[in-house]
């Protein structure tokens, strides 16, 4: 007779680890299956870690988690072809412990998180791919893996298998993912000596800087770029909607290569050595593209459930939070001896509605569509903003009033006054 | 039959980088794997276990505590027991000190159950010396069979083994007595895919963890850095050389013309080549 567990978790990313850890800590018999050689080998993230979500799972994580730098400064850049305009927010408050955000390297972080899962008592098995969910009538009762004797049973299966969950699709929980609902991101890690990073970014010790970018770097596609400081390396990447890549026939790799040549970015990377190149999908369809997230004997957590806030580049924290809450749902039902029926697991959705996860998902639900329909946000506006700055700053004998007029005209020339007002309104509505 | 397989956890050398500033080797963050040559040895041992009823396979490794991962992996493929020999006193061991420690551990294993065959990798991908296997054989007074491509037969009653061994210019067929130590050649087999049951068993199996006393080390001066006469004078990365690439204009040329242009360039660069080819062609 095949072995039976209280819960099986598919995937060992932040969502799966949060779920497995929480369940095992509560004393449940937990099996976690991961297809990668070890946890983290398949995963890609920028990566910024948001302390809050992890603190709720492992309060003292700072003691031994592999953290790179805590973030004290955020730069937001809008880039034209050869310039950028933007803001820097740097606060000493971010330099006070406990720190709020860190850069991490996912391969190391996931390994650490997984060691915690094992210590909590879960059985973690890697290099094993779950091929199918096993159903009895309509109820999920286990999984089938790619190994001989691969049927394993459980009261509940938590799908934490990341973006484009093939399992959920195979089981009929959602349809084929739409290319307009996923972004394709590529990133590189560039090695640089610690001292160089510190002097280039005006930081010391474990302080870190984030640069988020929009504008011409995405060549008219809906997307963003980023640059993060790690201890001894920089992470640079860019992501755009898959549908745009398809339509514009631009290769993600070429896009990143061009971005690295941008005069605002190039000096930051000078003399660095590329250590790693990765590509990964990000589910960015938002609330309206979310699949059903629970049913008889199953729940979906993390990227597999579209839980990403693309506007704020938050994903891992939603993954951890959904993982934790799914686990807490199981713990609560088990304590009351209730079966894992769809009606009982509805508690998962209900609990999530109370958290920032669902509130933010709902808040930004119009965003994906607005960005799709307004590509000029990524081309015309960056150009205009940079031109405006340039016009105002260049001292060339022209009086300021005329300069203001020129700027106004350049905006209206590119986009009708009506269009400008409309854009402002759309964005305001989306952020409201 | 009782088989001991010696394995080593090594950094995946294909992922090792050189620090661009200090020019030192960066091991940090490089995944650890079982030395690929050791997997050939393990697979061969497991095949014997599949064929010969009552065979047990013990995997043995000396290394840091993290080497547990390597042992668990070996268990998942089907090994029966796993022993981790680990002690700070072993740190800094060269091949001489390592073979001393491993030989001692195998003697300890023998105390419980006699060992008929010892397998080891032909060499490691991080040291590439190919010395530890032979060193262990010598210390344990075992017949040594290196670069084995095939075990042709094994007669447990007569305690006789026949193997094929790669030698310069051909294959040697060797018959000898067991116990012996075998190192397997690449291409001789391929690692199996573990079953689900074995994955569970490997994850839960208790490992035996031996410190230097448990491993039966008699002379502490012969282990670790102290027991290692090897001196590493320098570790450095070879400098990348730039060679100017030459182009051959292919525009509006026949294949024959292109080939001729290419060959004449080659011959110009390597004047001796022509004579060598002529000699080969007889
Ligand atoms: C370039 C990039 C930058 C990002 N930056 C940030 C950031 O700065 N901050 C942030 O919070 N988020 C960021 N994100 C998003 C974040 O990475 C994800 O939201 C997060 O990793 C989701 O976690 P997860 O556990 O749901 O999925 P994953 O981390 O993708 O984990 C899924 C796991 O399931 C395994 N798996 C899949 N299928 C199977 C199967 N059938 N059987 C067994 N195992 C399986 C996979 O191997 C994988 O380990 C970024 C994403 C990208 C691509």
Residues B196, A150: C-beta atoms closer than 8 Å:
yes
Shared domain check, A401 and A307 = no
Shared domain check, B160 and B49 = yes
Say which residues have a Cβ less than 8 Å from residue A39's Cβ, sequence separation at least 6: A12, A13, A17, A110, A111, A113, A114, A124, A126
Peptide bond into A431 cis (omega under 30): no
Shared domain check, B177 and B277 = no
Instruction: Give me chain B's average pLDDT, please.
Output: 91
Is A43's C-beta closer than 6 angstroms to any atom of ligand 1? yes
**Residue A430 pLDDT:** 65
Domain stop point among A226, A258, A283: A283
- Per the CB < 8 A criterion, the answer to whether A109 and A231 are in contact is no
Shared domain check, A166 and A104 = yes
Say which residues have a Cβ less than 8 Å from residue A324's Cβ, sequence separation at least 6: A18, A19, A22, A53, A56, A57
Residue A260: CATH number of its domain: 3.30.9.90
Residue A307: CATH number of its domain: 3.50.50.60
Shortest CB distance from A147 goes to which of B29, B194, B203? B194
Dihedrals phi, psi of A87, to nearest 5 degrees: -125, 155
Smallest Cα distance from A150 to chain B, Å? 6
| pLDDT tens-place string over residues B2-49 | 999 999 999 888 777 776 666 667 766 688 899 999 999 999 999 999
H helix runs in chain B, sequence order: 36-51, 68-77, 95-112, 132-140, 196-204, 255-269, 273-281
Shared domain check, A129 and A35 = yes
Q: What is the residue range of A358's domain?
A: 4-66+100-174+286-365
- Per the CB < 8 A criterion, the answer to whether A16 and A32 are in contact is yes
Using DSSP bridges, classify how beta strands B117-121 and B2-6 pair: parallel, antiparallel or unpaired: parallel
Which residues from chain B sit within 8 angstroms of residue A191, using beta carbons?
A: 17, 19-20
3-state SS, residue B71: helix
Q: Which of B34, B199, B203, B240 to mutate to test the interface with A (most CBs of A within 10 A)?
A: B199
Query: How many C-alpha atoms does B138 have within 13 Å on its Cβ side?
Result: 10
Q: What's the whole-number mean pLDDT along residues A88-111?
A: 94
Which residues from chain A sit within 8 angstroms of residue B69, using beta carbons?
A: 38
- Domain presence at residue B167: yes
**CA pair distance A74, A134, nearest whole angstrom:** 46
CA A87 to ligand 1 center in whole angstroms: 29
- The proportion of chain B whose per-residue pLDDT surpasses 70, expressed as a percent, equals 96
Residue B150: CATH number of its domain: 3.40.50.620
Any idea how long chain A is? 432
Shared domain check, A155 and A59 = yes
Is the pLDDT at A431 greater than 70? The verdict is no
Task: Please tell me the total count of domains within chain B.
Answer: 2
**Residue B273 pLDDT:** 85
| Among A181, A186, A206, A212, residue whose Cα is nearest residue A194 | A206
Strands (E), A304-393: none
Q: Does B214 touch chain A (CB under 8 A)?
A: no
The ipTM assigned to this model is 0.84
| pLDDT tens-place string over residues A326-374 | 999 999 999 999 999 999 999 999 999 999 999 999 999 998 888 888 8
Is the pLDDT at B279 greater than 80? The verdict is yes
Smallest Cα distance from B238 to chain A, Å? 16
Smallest Cα distance from B38 to chain A, Å? 18
- pTM, two decimals, is 0.88
Q: What is the residue range of B250's domain?
A: 241-282
| pLDDT tens-place string over residues B220-278 | 999 999 999 998 887 777 777 788 888 888 888 898 999 998 888 888 888 888 888 88
Encode burial over A377-392: b for 16+ CB neighbours within 10 A, e otherwise. Answer: bbbbbbbbbbbbbebe
**CA pair distance A425, A422, nearest whole angstrom:** 5
Is A324's C-beta closer than 6 angstroms to any atom of ligand 1? no
Question: What does the longest C-alpha to C-alpha distance in chain B come to?
Answer: 78
Task: Please tell me the total count of domains within chain A.
Answer: 3
Shared domain check, A334 and A373 = no
Shared domain check, B32 and B133 = yes
**Nearest residue (CA) to ligand 1, atom 39:** A161
Shared domain check, B102 and B10 = yes
**Range with lowest mean pLDDT among A277-281, A344-348, A374-378, A398-402:** A374-378
Domain stop point among A251, A268, A283: A283
Which residues from chain A sit within 8 angstroms of residue B17, using beta carbons?
A: 191, 275
Instruction: Give me chain A's average pLDDT, please.
Output: 93
Residues A128, B196: C-beta atoms closer than 8 Å:
yes
Shared domain check, A58 and A142 = yes
| pLDDT tens-place string over residues A197-245 | 999 999 999 999 999 999 999 998 999 999 999 999 999 999 999 999 9
Domain stop point among A283, A310, A344: A283
Q: Is A220 left (phi over 0), alpha (psi -120 to 50) or beta?
A: left
Shared domain check, A395 and A256 = no
**Residue A412 pLDDT:** 83
Say which residues have a Cβ less than 8 Å from residue A166's Cβ, sequence separation at least 6: none
**CA pair distance A36, A25, nearest whole angstrom:** 24
- Domain presence at residue A314: yes
Is the pLDDT at B131 greater than 70? The verdict is yes
User: Which tokens is B151 given?
Assistant: 């075990």
Residues A123, B203: C-beta atoms closer than 8 Å:
yes
Shared domain check, B167 and B217 = yes
**Nearest residue (CA) to ligand 1, atom 30:** A162
| Among B142, B22, B6, residue whose Cα is nearest residue B67 | B6
User: Which tokens is A317 given?
Assistant: 């924290």
Mutate to test the pocket of ligand 1, among A13, A20, A277 (most ligand atoms within 8 A of CB): A13
Shared domain check, A146 and A231 = no
Shared domain check, B215 and B82 = yes
CA A254 to ligand 1 center in whole angstroms: 24
Shared domain check, A168 and A56 = yes
Q: What's the whole-number mean pLDDT along residues B108-115?
A: 96
H helix runs in A161-218, sequence order: 166-170, 194-201
Shared domain check, A118 and A233 = no
Position of tokens 């713990």? Answer: A331
Shared domain check, B134 and B197 = yes
Say which DSSP state A96 is in: S
Smallest Cα distance from B151 to chain A, Å? 27
């Amino acid at each position: 007779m095949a072995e039976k567990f209280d819960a099986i978790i598919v995937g060992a990313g932040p969502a799966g680890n949060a779920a497995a850890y929480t369940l095992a800590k509560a004393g449940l018999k937990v099996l976690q299956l991961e297809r990668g050689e070890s946890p983290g080998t398949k995963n890609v993230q920028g990566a910024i870690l948001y302390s809050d979500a992890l603190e709720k799972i492992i309060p003292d994580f700072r003691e031994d988690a592999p953290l790179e730098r805590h973030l004290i400064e955020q730069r937001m850049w809008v880039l034209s072809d050869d310039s950028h305009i933007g803001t820097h927010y740097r606060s000493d408050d971010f330099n006070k412990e406990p720190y709020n955000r860190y850069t991490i390297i996912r391969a190391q972080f996931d390994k650490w998180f997984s060691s915690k899962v094992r210590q909590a008592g879960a059985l973690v098995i890697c290099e094993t791919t779950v091929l199918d969910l096993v159903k009895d009538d309509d109820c999920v009762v286990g999984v089938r893996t790619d190994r001989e004797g691969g049927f394993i049973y459980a009261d509940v299966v938590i799908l934490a298998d990341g973006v484009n969950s093939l399992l959920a699709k195979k089981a009929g929980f959602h349809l084929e993912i739409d290319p307009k609902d996923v972004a394709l991101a590529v990133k590189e890690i560039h090695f640089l000596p610690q001292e160089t990073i510190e002097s280039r970014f005006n930081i010391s010790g474990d302080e870190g800087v984030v640069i988020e970018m929009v504008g011409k770097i995405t060549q008219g596609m809906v997307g963003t770029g980023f640059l993060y400081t790690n201890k001894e390396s920089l992470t640079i990447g860019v992501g755009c909607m898959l549908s745009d890549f398809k339509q514009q026939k631009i290769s993600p790799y070429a896009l990143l290569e061009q971005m690295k040549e941008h005069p605002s970015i190039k000096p930051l990377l000078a003399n660095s050595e590329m250590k790693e190149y990765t590509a990964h999908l990000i589910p960015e369809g938002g609330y309206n593209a979310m699949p059903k997230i629970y049913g008889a004997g199953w729940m979906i957590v993390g990227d597999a459930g579209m839980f990403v806030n693309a506007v704020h580049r938050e994903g891992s924290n939603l993954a951890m939070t959904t993982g934790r809450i799914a686990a807490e749902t199981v713990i609560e039902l088990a304590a009351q001896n209730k079966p894992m029926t769809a009606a009982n697991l509805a508690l998962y959705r209900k609990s999530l509605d109370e958290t920032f996860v669902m509130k933010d998902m709902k808040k930004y639900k119009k965003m994906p569509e607005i960005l799709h329909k307004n590509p000029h946000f990524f081309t015309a506006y960056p150009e205009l903003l940079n031109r405006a700055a340039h016009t105002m700053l260049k001292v060339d004998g022209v009086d300021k009033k005329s300069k203001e007029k020129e700027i106004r005209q350049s905006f209206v020339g590119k986009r009708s006054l009506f269009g400008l007002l409309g854009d402002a309104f759309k964005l305001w509505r989306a952020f409201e | 039959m009782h088989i001991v397989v010696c394995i080593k956890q090594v950094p995946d050398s294909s992922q090792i980088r050189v620090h661009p500033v200090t020019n030192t080797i960066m091991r940090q963050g490089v995944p650890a794997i079982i030395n690929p040559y050791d997997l050939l040895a393990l697979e061969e041992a497991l095949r014997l276990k599949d064929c010969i009823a009552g065979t047990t396979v013990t995997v043995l490794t000396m290394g840091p505590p993290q080497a547990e991962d390597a042992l668990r992996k070996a268990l998942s493929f089907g090994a029966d027991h796993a022993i981790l020999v680990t002690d700070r006193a072993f740190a800094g061991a060269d091949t001489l000190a390592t073979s001393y420690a491993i030989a001692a551990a195998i003697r300890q294993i023998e105390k419980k159950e006699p060992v008929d065959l010892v397998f080891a990798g032909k060499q490691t991908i991080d040291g590439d010396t190919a010395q530890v296997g032979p060193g262990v054989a010598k210390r344990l007074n075992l017949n040594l069979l290196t670069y084995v491509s095939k075990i042709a037969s094994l007669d447990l009653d007569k305690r006789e083994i026949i193997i094929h061994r790669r030698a310069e210019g051909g294959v040697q067929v060797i018959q000898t007595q067991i116990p012996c130590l075998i190192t397997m050649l690449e291409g001789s087999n391929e690692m199996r895919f573990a079953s689900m049951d074995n994955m569970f068993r490997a994850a839960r199996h208790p490992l035996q963890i031996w410190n230097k006393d448990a491993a039966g080390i008699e002379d502490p001066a012969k282990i670790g850095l102290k027991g290692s006469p090897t001196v590493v004078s320098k570790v450095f990365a070879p400098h990348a050389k730039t060679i100017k690439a030459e182009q051959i204009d292919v525009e509006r040329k026949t294949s024959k013309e292109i080939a001729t242009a290419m060959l004449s360039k080659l011959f110009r660069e390597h004047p001796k080549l022509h004579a060598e080819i002529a000699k080969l062609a007889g």
